Amino acid sequence: MKVRTRFAPSPLHLGEIKTALFAWLFAKQHKGVFMLRIEDTDKSRENAEGIENITESLKWLGLDWDEGPDGDKDRGEFGPYIQSKRLDIYLEQDKMLMEQRKAYADPYTKEELDSFRQQAQMQNKPFLFRNHRPKDFVEWKEGMPIRLKTPLKRYEWQDIARGKLSAGEEALDDYVLIKADGYPTYNFAHIVDDHLMQITHVIRGEEFISSMPKFLATYDVLGWQTPEFVTMPPVLNQEGGKKLSKRHGAQPVLEYRQQGYLKEAIINFMASLGWNDGTDQEIYTLDELISKFRLERLQKTGAHFNPEKLNWMNGEYIRGLDEDSLMEHAKDFWPKEA
C-alpha cells in the first residue's frame, strides 16, 4: 500500500512544524502522499487567519501537500479536507454505531452530571461516565451529545519510535463523539478521517500517548484496522524544562522569514531536533534529508530549542548563496526610500 501521511495543525510555530516536516520527509522518501487537513471542529478556536498562516508557512518552507485544501477547492479524491465541511460524514458513522448499540445518546443535563461528579468526589473516587450509562437507549435528538460505549479491556500497541506500549481499562471511559453543537470531538473525527482518507502512518507528538487507549477502543468498536503510529519527541524551550509553545518561547514560523532566516536553515534545524542519522553531519541538503530520514532513528527524549545553533545554521546557508541569490534575499531588508 502506498504510504500516506497527514498534517493536521493549529497555527504554526517551530515546535509544530517538525511534525509536518517528518511526515513530509517520510512520504517523499517512499514516493507516497503528504496530506494537509484542517481540523476546525472546536468552534471556540476557529480562526480563518490561522488557516492562511498554516498554508503560507508550509508553502514558504517548501512542504507542499499532495492532497488537501487548495483555495476554494480540494486537491485530491478524499475531500473535503476541512473537517467543518464533513459533519454529515461523522454523524452518519455515529448513527450507525447507535443502531448497533455501540454508542448512545447522552440524556443527562449539566446539573445531573455535576451531581454525579460530586458523588464521586465524596466517595473519593474518579468520576467515570461509564458508571452512569443509561439503562435503556434513548432516542437521539438533535442537540444531544453522543457517547461511545467503550469496551473495557487492556490495549497494547506498537509505536515505531517508542516500541511496545499498553494501558488498561483505568484509562478508558465513555467519551463524547458528537457534541451538543453537532460538531465531532477531535478524538472521534480524526479517526474517521484517517480511515476514510486511507492514512497509513500517523505521526504526532507525545501529548497524544495518554489518549491512545481511547483511540484504539474507537477503532475496535468501528471494526477498522489501525494505521502505524509514530510518536515524536517534544521540542523543549531554551531552558529545557517545558515543551516549546506560544506560552513558552515559540514564535510563529513566518516571523523567522521576516527576520531574515532562510527556509533551508529552518528545515535543517528542525530535522536535527529529535532525529539524527548516526553520523556527525549537521548540514544536509533537502535531498539528503529525504534519503537518510528514518522513523526508527527518532529519539525518545525531548530536544532543546537552541537559537544559537539555528543562527549558526542560517549563517552557513547564507554564506553558501551565490551573489545573485544573496542580493535577492537581502533586498527585502534594505532601508525603504523616504
pLDDT in tens, 104-132: 999 999 999 999 999 999 999 999 999 99
Superfamily of the domain at 4-83+234-333? HUPs (3.40.50.620)
Q: Tell which residue, 74, 81, 84, 141, has the closest CA to residue 107.
A: 141
Q: Is the pLDDT of residue 263 over 50?
A: yes
Confidence of residue 16 (pLDDT cuts 50, 70, 90): confident
User: 22-31, 81-90, 201-210, 238-247: which range is least confident on average?
Assistant: 238-247
Give the tens place of pLDDT for each residue, 241-252. Answer: 677 766 655 678
Confidence of residue 45 (pLDDT cuts 50, 70, 90): low
Q: Residue 253 class from Cβ within 10 Å (0-12 exposed, 13-18 middle, 19+ buried)? A: buried
Residues 6+ apart with CB under 8 A from 272: 282, 303, 309
Determine what percent of the chain is predicted with pLDDT higher than 90: 72
Q: How far apart are CA 86 and CA 184, in angstroms?
A: 10
From the centroid of its chain, how far is CA 34?
Answer: 13
Strands 68-70 and 33-36: unpaired
Note the pLDDT of residue 10.
Answer: 59
Note the pLDDT of residue 338.
Answer: 47
- Determine the average pLDDT of the residues in 260-277: 93
Give the tens place of pLDDT for each residue, 144-160. Answer: 999 999 999 999 999 99
Residue 325 carries which side chain, given as an amino acid letter? S
Give the tens place of pLDDT for each residue, 61-106. Answer: 999 999 999 887 899 999 999 999 999 999 999 999 999 999 999 9
How many Cα atoms sit within 13 Å of 158 on the Cβ side?
6
Catalytic residues: 246
Give the tens place of pLDDT for each residue, 279-315. Answer: 999 999 999 999 999 999 998 888 888 899 999 999 9
Strands, DSSP E only, in 65-105? 68-70, 73-75, 103-105
Cell numbers for 203 = 505521526
CATH of domain 86-232: 3.40.50.620
- 4-83+234-333 and 86-232 have identical folds: yes
Note the pLDDT of residue 44.
Answer: 61
Note the pLDDT of residue 78.
Answer: 96
Domain boundaries, the chain: 4-83+234-333, 86-232
Average confidence score pLDDT of the chain: 90
Strands 68-70 and 73-75: antiparallel
How many Cα atoms sit within 13 Å of 52 on the Cβ side?
3
Residue 152 carries which side chain, given as an amino acid letter? L
